[in-house]
Amino acid sequence: MPPTVLHLISRLGVGGVENQLLLVARHYDRSLLHPVVCCIREKGEMGREMEAAGIEVIALGRREVHGFDPSLVLQIAHLLRRRGVHILRAHQYEASLYGRLAVPVAPRALVVCSFHNIYRRRKWHRQKLNRFLSRFADRIVAVSECVKSDIVRYDSIPAEQVKVIYNGIDPADFAGEVKADQVKASLGLPPHSRVVGTIGRMTPQKGQALLLEAIADLRKRMDPTLLLVGDGPLRPSLERRAQELGIGDRVFFVGLRRDIYPLLRIMEVFALPSLWEGMGTAVIEAMAAGKAVVASDLAPLREIIPTSDLGILVRPNDEKSLREGIGQLLEDRGLSEEMGKRSREYALSRFPIQKTVSDYQDLFAEIENAERRPSRYSCKA
């Protein structure tokens, strides 16, 4: 049996972090690593999907607890000992907190903590804990240079301890013919509708309310259809706002979906008007599907769209800039199509999941070599 890499995560509902974990676990070289996923709470939809893909999922079934739960440290430590875990990779703050505390009371494992978002608000207790617990991590991974900068700046962790590994997409998920008319019909969209779309959890971060305002203004001269993929606490208020703006018949809420590629293919423009991001994997997915992108001009998104020929970046929280960016692409189909072709080539070559997995396996090898252990994980994409 190859050495076990245990991925520790708080939840396994549908989300960007969870989907990225599934992709990475699916693409490990199984002759080198045996992936196991441990969820602090219930398995959730993504946990069941992981099991269907042949990945073992352990659900600790813990309830939401306000404050620190020392029994969870012991439960994770027992799991590490019982399964002889060689590598612990913890995702986000909660899993990294409990995972790092469990390691000293279990046989020594390599510890890699992954962080997927910037500090939106200063959380002093988290910063102090992350700083203290950094001694129990062999390396910290940030999904973008911007996230790394926040970790170094606010957690006072040496830059050399933090490595940037970008999220990836599976090129195979963005290939094949899509019959746009059939997809539109299945969603109830008019066959000749010009679709502007976005994908994301319906929270203030993702800026869907701003997108509704922009579409309402654009409808006066272009009559676009808006496709909103995702769910979340703001959905009822967004549905009400669409009615208030008089565009209820042109806004389609399709909820959580796993068939992302067909939905992207029917979009003429993909928009991501986020107020903040850690990376913005949805933009990479849209680019891989060959879509022209309009996104907020945020530091992490500039890492994905480094030049203006790959997408349009607009001022965050600015409806006029967002409207103009979308309008430019709707008015000039030649520009939109050419941008989509260039962005597809770029995304597939820059962000394949095979490179992401190779970077992690190389990182494990680097850590092991630093501790003078025989390297067993290095591989090239």
For residue range 49-105, list pLDDT tens digits in order: 999 999 999 999 988 767 788 999 999 999 999 999 999 999 999 999 999 999 887
User: Domain extents for the chain?
Assistant: 4-168+352-370, 171-350
319-362: per-residue pLDDT in tens? 999 999 999 999 999 999 999 999 999 999 999 999 999 999 99
In the chain, % of residues over pLDDT 90: 81
The pLDDT of residue 74 is 94
| CA gap 201, 238 in Å, rounded | 12
Cα 205 to the center of its chain, rounded Å: 14
Q: For residues 242 and 248, give the distance between their C-alpha atoms in angstroms, rounded to a whole number.
A: 5
Q: How many CB atoms lie within 10 A of CB 372?
A: 6
**What CATH architecture is 171-350?**
3-Layer(aba) Sandwich (3.40)
Q: Kindly report, residue by residue over 214-253, the tens digit of the pLDDT.
A: 999 999 888 899 999 999 999 999 999 999 999 999 999 9
In this structure, which topology does domain 4-168+352-370 adopt according to CATH? Rossmann fold (3.40.50)
Closest CA to 292 of 277, 272, 318: 272
**171-350: same fold as 4-168+352-370?**
yes
270, 198 Cβ separation under 8 angstroms: yes
- Going by C-alpha positions, the residue among 181, 270, 274 that lies closest to residue 224 is 270
SS3 35: strand
pLDDT band at 379 (very low <50, low <70, confident <90, very high): very low
